[in-house]
Amino acid sequence: MKRIAVLTTGGDAPGMNAAIRSVVRYGTNNKLEVWGVFRGWWGLINEELKVLDHRSVSGIINQGGTILKTARCQEFYTPEGQERAFQTIKKHDIDGMVVIGGNGSFTAAHIFCTKYNVACIGIPASIDNDINGIDETIGTDTAVNTALTAIDNIRDTATSMERIFVVEVMGRDSGFIALTVALAGGCEEAIIPEKKFDFEAACHDIVNGNLRGKISWIIVTAEGAGRAEDVAKKINEITTLETRTVVLGHIQRGGRPTARSRDIALVLGRSAVDCLLKGLSDKVVGIAGGKIVTVDFQKAIAKKEFNLEGMYNLIKQLS
């Protein structure tokens, strides 16, 4: 193992730059030449890559986004695209790859590394925290805190104007962000993809609360479980109460990474390089139960389990 490449793919997540820094500096300290590939798989196909050294990754540890940029790349799902990507790998004598990304990235990396026998290690970075077998992806903690700040702000208005708010957070298939911020934000309800939401019961609570004098209300919905506008419309239809919506959207994706998002990224950057040095491939590195673990790509992309009932019940009990 003399020369490795690192790339970021899929949606950007805060902490990706810290992961790049770690791979580059730990790699070069271990006598590896580290190449940065631009725009994910697209850069491999189009031969956009360059050597990174200690200086290339200065001053990026506290920056959101990714200096290597990222892109969705349909061509990589074709045999021709994969072949071109492999030619770049061969041409540059790259012995191993670190793929920083999420579910889709690891699906692609699994196919590529098994088909061409190129060592690939994944670093889980995605605000959705949807990688199976590990506790937390890089970026989740930052996204949750960004959403929480937004909800704290909205609470000021909800309380002052005594209104019902529906706040839509990210999470296509996962209610992780929704539950985590609803709990931390002292919200009254969370609507998540993993659990059928009982509108009648929720509206009953709202109307009852209203009679007792509890008039402000924040309901968090994961984008995959119901768009804010639809949720608000339903609540308004059932209760006749005025309901406002906020869609947090892309503000959850960027920003200065939190300590946790950075520290996980830095630790896993080292682990990924160590895995390549040990000859491992087709695996994700991650932290589970406080320990560094490796998880096969195929297991990592399976549906992640988490104790949603416990969190959901706690939200209800404390609201």
Residues designated as active site: 128
Q: Applying CB under 8 A, does 183 fall inside the site for its own copies?
A: yes
Helix axes 308-318, 176-184, angle to 10 degrees: 30
CA distance 102 to 42: 16
Q: What is the DSSP letter of 125?
A: B
Pairing of strands 119-124, 96-101: parallel
* Among the residue ranges 44-52, 105-113, 198-206, 242-250, the one whose residues contact its own copies (CB under 8 A): 242-250
3-class state of residue 120 by DSSP: strand
Per CB under 8 A, 22 contacts its own copies? yes
**Binding of its own copies by 124 (CB under 8 A):** no
Answer yes or no whether residue 7 interacts with its own copies by CB under 8 A: no
3-state class (DSSP) for residue 71: coil
End-to-end CA distance of the chain: 55
Give yes or no for residue 104 binding its own copies (CB under 8 A).
no
Nearer to its own copies, 95 or 162 (CB): 162
In one letter, which amino acid is 205? D
Q: Which is nearer to its own copies, 87 or 153 (CB)?
A: 153
Min. distance of Cβ 316 from its own copies in angstroms?
A: 9
Question: If binding is defined by CB under 8 A, does position 135 make contact with its own copies?
Answer: yes
From 255, 275, 281, 294, residue interacting with its own copies (rule: CB under 8 A): 255
Assess 33 for contact with its own copies (CB under 8 A).
Answer: no
Q: Mark residue 214 as left, alpha or beta (left: phi above 0; alpha: psi -120 to 50; beta: remaining).
A: beta
Residues in region 53-82 near its own copies by CB under 8 A: 59, 61-66, 69-71
**Binding its own copies by CB under 8 A: which of 97, 98, 203, 267?**
267
DSSP code per residue over 34-69: EEEETTTHHHHHTT-EEEE-GGGGTT-TT-SS-TT-
Bridge partners, residue 101, by sequence = 124
Residue from 37, 148, 206, 275 in contact with its own copies (CB under 8 A)? 148
Site string (199-238) toward its own copies, x via CB under 8 A:
----------------------------------------
To its own copies, the closest distance from the beta carbon of 182 in angstroms equals 10
Q: Please give the Cα distance from 124 to 162 (Å, whole number).
A: 41
Of positions 152, 230, 237, 309, contacts its own copies by CB under 8 A: 152
Cα–Cα distance for residue pair 109/168, rounded to 1 Å: 31
Interacting span for its own copies (CB under 8 A) from 8-16, 73-81, 110-118, 196-204? 8-16
Count of residues in the chain: 319
